[in-house]
Structure 1
């Protein structure tokens, strides 16, 4: 029997024959930063290109993602939703500088970004009093005082990114209402309305709102990354029954509806329809998506929009692109490139996201 590429990938996913090989001797000089849970509690860590921890920053609560300043000399660690604090790091002196608190009746969603000049910090937030998503704006020149907010035009904004034009904010609207008094509870699954929204950074006005198809309205959009030619890639977490077998990875081109990547049924089943993180390599040729509940990482071609590679790693979630390569981390304390395990930190559980500090 002749087996084509798609059949081979699907069969390999089930049998587990696509595995990381011996570690690649070629490396990068980049440093990385990620949140973690260790024997002494929650922290963030700066690690080198081989996964060795260089500096540890204790956190008062579980962290989620990291916003890096354009100069790469500051980082803000956002607490996991519905957390209400963020920690500012000085990456030049490797020390904690300040704690940033969310506004009254707001909580963070774990993601944010800096303005191109580094003077403003934008944070995905929830106005839980009125169940409205917003982007809080903080002035870095005034000790990160909150100076305003933009309406996200949807409930549950998760990852927000500033696109390459330096003026358009892309916002993954998860559609799920949350409240600090009910941690981790999802309060509106039956009528959630996720979308991919674009805002003007200067004015906060809505440029484009792209809803998830009505028959997939339980697909919570969570993480996004910009690809070539202004394409925005996304991944999500499906809150409907597993029997629906929906694709949770796709891309968007301005003026079009959301496009979903065709995935083998075996892959959809293995992922449990839950994606953890997304990244793109530096040459914009491949997008990597992690599926921690399925213990796999998948690569997609930005040109063909097709699945190209699957790597198995238990509880893999953090991913970052450097040059042609990807680096990833998992809940077993492993940090690796896609050719093999680079290091393992015993007693460390790497959290959801991995950010590269320098290329």
Structure 2
């Protein structure tokens, strides 16, 4: 009885405040309450602690929020100062963080027999979160569906349209999802071992209202090119970065697709492709869609392609570079050595943090 009495005023206050917010009397929290970050990124300190950070457009670090383990990517709520930080695959947790207060608001746990792939995306209105997952006993990709208003309660799952779904994005102005099915089967019992290289079949799958409405696949000669990361341009064209699983030299590691068409591969000289060492770590489309930037921490390179000519236009050497995101007039990149750089045609802005940045830089 004592518990009920002490809890009642708190519940009443929450209901009262909720009513004021719904009535428009109190302001609804926004990303401005968290310092208006331009980006989110996971990082680690030298002492082994892990963080989710907010980064301003001027490359200053606005906040550092502890994570329970190494992060990979994050999903930023479209309006609230709320982020979901995902564990690196094959992690089974994701944490929902109020970036204005630094408090954990919820923790997502995969159902038994699933693990996250480190990526997720909100619906356009922010009511739903969609997560890429592995049904590792069936060897099939799944998209988890989480109800934001219900405290991120899991409401179900749908097929990803392939094996090994990694990245997931939303097409501009819609709730149509595009999924990068990397094609690689893994199982937690064997760690990150790849179990099906000879038969892997990566694809892009488009999902509308829970149903796969279109798929695009690489030619068979490229079937060992795992489609991993996505960048969506303002016109809805989808650029993707790949990771080569074959022994022979690969023709290309970056491609583009638009619904109703065929996959097209960006062109680069063979030596430029070799410099990426078969591995694209992250990808971004410029705000106007005219350029696509990809990174390789293995090759220590940033490559920028022209989406009109489909050709390579710029190469930048940068040690352990991986995170990349659009910036006004160019791209912002992060490195494992704590560097942040904004690459623009008119020059570079640089900053250094006492952190090791992880794989991805997420626009807010």
Taking structure 1 as the reference length, the TM-score comes to: 0.87
Could you tell which deviates more after superposition, 33-42 or 125-134?
A: 33-42
Aligned residue for 1:323?
A: 328
With over 3 angstroms needed to count, the CA separation of the structure-2 counterparts of 1:228 and 1:52, relative to structure 1, is: closer
Once the two structures are superposed, the pairs formed by residues 106-145 of structure 1 within 5 Å of their partners are 106-145=114-153
Give yes or no for contact 1:68–1:75 (8 Å, CA) kept in 2.
yes
Q: Are the equivalent residues in 1 in contact too, given 2:71–2:85 (CA < 8 A)?
A: yes
1:216 has 2:222 as partner: yes
Query: 1:36 and 2:43 equivalent?
Result: yes
What SS does the aligned partner of 1:230 have? coil
Aligned residues: 325
* 1:198 matches 2:206: yes
**Aligned residues: CA RMSD:** 1.6
Which digits, 9 at most, give the CA deviation of each residue in 1:205-233, with x for residues without a partner? 11111112111111000011112433211
- Contact 1:32/1:47 (8 A) holds in 2: yes
* Ranges in structure 2 where 5+ consecutive residues have no aligned partner: 1-35
1:344 maps to which of 342, 347, 352: 352
Q: Measured at CA, do residues 230 and 251 of structure 1 come closer, stay the same or move farther in structure 2, by a change above 3 Å?
A: same
Aligned residue in 2 for 1:238? 244
1:310 and 2:315 matched = yes
Shift of 1:72: 4.6
* Residue of structure 2 in register with 1:264 after alignment: 269
Output the CA distance in 1 between the equivalents of 2:78 and 2:61: 23
Residue 124 of structure 1 and its aligned partner are, at CA, apart by 0.5
Is the radius of gyration larger for structure 1 or structure 2? 2
Structure 1 segments (4+ residues) deviating >6 Å: none
- Does the 8 Å contact 1:316/1:328 carry over to 2? yes
What's the CA shift for 1:30? 4.9
Higher RCO structure, 1 or 2 (CA under 8 Å, sep 6+): 1
1:252 counterpart = 2:246: no
Q: Is the CA contact 1:173–1:194 (under 8 Å) kept in the aligned structure 2?
A: yes
- 1:60 is aligned to 68
Is the 8 Å Cα contact of residues 74 and 89 (structure 1) preserved in structure 2? yes
Are 1:294 and 2:302 an aligned pair? no
Contact in 2 for aligned 1:283/1:323 (Cα 8 Å): no
Distance, in Å, in 2 between the alignment partners of 1:148 and 1:353 is: 27
Task: With the length of structure 2 as denominator, give the TM-score of the two structures.
Answer: 0.85
Q: Distance in 2 between matches of 1:323 and 1:53?
A: 18
Give yes or no for the alignment of 1:158 onto 2:166. Answer: yes
Equivalence for 1:102: 110
> What is the distance in 2 between the residues matched to 1:94 and 1:281?
30
CA contact (8 A) 1:68 1:76 kept: yes
How far does residue 123 in structure 1 lie from its aligned partner after superposition? 0.2
- Segments of 5+ residues of structure 1 without an aligned counterpart are 1-28
Distance 1:211 1:306 in 2: 21
